[in-house]
Structure 1
Amino acid sequence: MRAFFAKAPMRFEMREVELRPLAPDEALVRVRACGVCGWDVIVARTVARDWSPIGHEIAGTVEALGSAVRGFQVGDPVVVENSTFCGVCAQCKRGNVVHCTSLDGHRSPGGFADFIIVRYTGLYPLGALSFRAGALAEPLTVAIDMVEAAEIPLSGHVAVFGPGPIGLMIARLALAKGAARVYLTGHAHSGARWEAAHRLGVTECIAVDETDLVSYIAEREPKGLDRVLVTSPPDTIPAAVELCRFGGIVVYDGIKFGSGGTIQLDGNAFHFKRLQLRGVHSVPNLGWPQALDLLERRVIDPELFISHVFPFERVPDAVRFAERARGEAVKVMVEMEEAD
């Protein structure tokens, strides 16, 4: 089969990879659609010192099943978990599956490939959704994780830092949870994402490269914000802390390698304002049933998010486009040709 690999800085290689026999608990999935994640860009740009598989936002069809698999049949449309808790480590046995110490990920090259091998417990039925829509389920589980961690109150005033696909999903879910105001921050060049945000019902989009963010929001929210959900780099967390009201919560799921990963925070603010900073790392991904339901009911409308679709042979172009064209793109998707 064909599979794409990446190596920093932004080099790509398509290889022929031989499929191995399935273990009893495994399924072979023919990939039909795979989203381009910001992590794919980071891996290809800086992380992959050696050739590494990429792609983890996957929807496809079951091609073959191991002897112990139950509940699925060949031909079933499915979505694929990025990582699955093991169920047997000490944390899992305590019921803390989100803290699993022995995660099980993809067992063959990543989602930018003809096929992928996974443990069958990491599959979910796609139902009537399209493959493109199904490939949105994985980033949506991250948004769900953040919104649940934030415990957004009814009529709460909320800011979401970062207008990427996950930030936009968070904004939509915050409104669905009953938030009265949702501010979205980003850069002025984020034209397509601002347009999507307005269609989602966001209160206001704020360009941080043209506005003093803290002063701007403070004028509109003199009592502070109930919640700030940060999908941008860690150096934006101090502003989130400053903007939170007494008893507020900051939820963070971003990444920055190198010196940019280290920040300074005002400890007195946490003490006197009784703030909380909650880190989220959606590995393993939970919330798949909710994600698929939200997509099916179009609470998260796939057509609003998927802005560009590339064929499989152009995976390198898709990743490069996702990196450079954030003003044009909301979500970039790779779609396979019809299976024979």
Structure 2
Amino acid sequence: MATDVRAVVATGKGKPVEVTTIRVPDPGPDEALVRIQACGVCHTDLHYHEGGISDDFPFLLGHEAAGVVEAVGPGASDLQAGDFVVLNWRAVCGVCRACKRGRLEYCFDTNNAAQPMTLTDGTELSPALGIGAFAEKTLVHAGQCTKVDASAAPDVVGLLGCGVMAGIGAAVNTGRAGPGDSVAVIGCGGVGSASVAGAAMAGARRVIAVDTDPKKLEWSRQFGATHTINAAEADTVEAIREVTDGYGADVVVEAVGRPETYEQAFYARDLAGTVVLVGVPTPEMRLELPFLDVFARGGALKSSWYGDCLPSRDFPMLVELYQQGRLPLEKFVTERIPLDGVGSAFDKMRRGDVLRSVVVL
């Protein structure tokens, strides 16, 4: 029997989001019904709303969520009703070529719920990143549920479901930042600030935050930045070199997703240093670099997908670090809002007024 719940839906490009009633099926094989307690407003949701990802409207928005399992279908043996979970969009399949090689963090065929959620008239919804969590309840694949410490605050740990994990993982998993390293982060919104936090948590000696917004630079200090650079007032590459004894950073995380800032990241790293792209470019963007410089500088140029995370490994560990006071996840939450506040949260995001608005149900 399906359940009717309130949810935030984007019905078309350029149209305001709506709080409306949707229909959520009972879980089938390997599926779970989750009562959502909190869900962060991520930039990816805004991209869906603006038609920047696909035109498969209507979209059920929201994906950065935590909640409680209400029911499971046959085969979901690792879950039971009452489990507290953070949702993820990397439910590894176990059988694709990446999984068979033991590289589960690159799974190329992650699982989603088989049954569609719908509007009350039967129109099928496209859930954001296969989750759709701006809703009182949502249906997901059981593998999208990662059990974590039930005493953790859902409005805080739910942020691990996307942006915070992407940023931390970009620095730690993809960039391999570690004790004694110098790490520069270009772009200090939610994902960039999480990269700063990840680098600090990993023991980096210097953590350099770069942005054009003084407010974001100030935010970065609370996540562990040891140096800040206002890119509107200084040459980013020269300023990073100055902080790093003239050499450049061991790891540079580019969290903007633009060719100009990527080029800065490329030249701001030390010889044999690593550039990590975690900012998301748009399809029309092109990058041009002198090919000889790519060869001569050595090192690694990497892209980070979801922070190269494995949710079953990383979520519980990061929640434990948060519980111990070693990872300030709570500082990402700028405001808590109801379901009908998502539209205004998008406006604040566009203006750069918030790190994260979090819908609390």
TM-score, normalised to structure 2, is: 0.85
Deviation at 1:183, TM superposition (A): 0.8
Q: Secondary structure at the match of 2:19?
A: strand
Describe the superposition over 1:216-271 as per-residue Cα deviations: whole angstroms up to 9, x where unpaired.
Answer: 22333312211101111231111111111111110111112143x21112322221
Describe the superposition over 1:88-113 as per-residue Cα deviations: whole angstroms up to 9, x where unpaired.
Answer: 22332232323323222356440111
List runs of 5+ in structure 1 lacking aligned partners: none
> Of 77, 92, 97, which residue of structure 1 is paired with 2:99?
92
Per the alignment, residue 129 of structure 1 pairs with 152
CA contact 1:78–1:123 (8 Å) conserved in 2: yes
1:143 corresponds to 2:167 = yes
Amino acid at match of 1:269: D
Deviation at 1:129, TM superposition (A): 0.3
Deviation at 1:153, TM superposition (A): 4.1
Deviation at 1:60, TM superposition (A): 0.7
The structure-2 alpha-carbon separation of the partners of 1:142 and 1:118, relative to structure 1 and needing over 3 Å to count, comes to same
- Structure 2 Cα separation of the partners of residues 194 and 272 of structure 1: 32
The structure-2 alpha-carbon separation of the partners of 1:284 and 1:112, relative to structure 1 and needing over 3 Å to count, comes to farther
CA contact 2:186–2:209 (8 Å) conserved in 1: yes
- Structure 2 Cα separation of the partners of residues 74 and 258 of structure 1: 42
CA contact 2:335–2:358 (8 Å) conserved in 1: yes
Q: Secondary structure at the match of 2:24?
A: coil
Deviation at 1:159, TM superposition (A): 0.4
* Larger displacement relative to structure 2 (214-223 or 231-240): 214-223
- Structure 1 Cα separation of the partners of residues 203 and 308 of structure 2: 27
Deviation at 1:284, TM superposition (A): 7.7
Identity %, equivalent residues: 27
Describe the superposition over 1:57-114 as per-residue Cα deviations: whole angstroms up to 9, x where unpaired.
Answer: 0101111121332243322221111231111223322323233232223564401111
Give the RMSD, CA atoms, in angstroms. Answer: 2.1
CA contact 1:83–1:283 (8 Å) conserved in 2: no
* Larger displacement relative to structure 2 (163-172 or 71-80): 71-80
* Larger displacement relative to structure 2 (46-55 or 231-240): 46-55
Number of aligned residues? 331
Pairing of 1:62-81 with structure 2 (within 5 A): 62-81=69-88
Per the alignment, residue 27 of structure 2 pairs with 22
Q: Secondary structure at the match of 1:313?
A: helix
Describe the superposition over 1:11-60 as per-residue Cα deviations: whole angstroms up to 9, x where unpaired.
Answer: 21233222223112111001110001111122223425332221110101
Pairing of 1:173-322 with structure 2 (within 5 A): 173-188=198-213, 190-191=214-215, 193-221=216-244, 222-235=246-259, 236-259=261-284, 261-282=285-306, 285-286=309-310, 287-322=314-349
CA contact 2:167–2:307 (8 Å) conserved in 1: no
Amino acid at match of 2:6: R
- Structure 2 Cα separation of the partners of residues 68 and 114 of structure 1: 24
CA contact 1:41–1:320 (8 Å) conserved in 2: no
* Larger displacement relative to structure 2 (23-32 or 86-95): 86-95
- Structure 2 Cα separation of the partners of residues 171 and 22 of structure 1: 39
1:154 corresponds to 2:179 = yes
Q: Secondary structure at the match of 2:20?
A: strand
Describe the superposition over 1:181-215 as per-residue Cα deviations: whole angstroms up to 9, x where unpaired.
Answer: 11111122x51x33322223312222212222122
Describe the superposition over 1:137-165 as per-residue Cα deviations: whole angstroms up to 9, x where unpaired.
Answer: 22332134312211224311210111112
Amino acid at match of 1:30: R
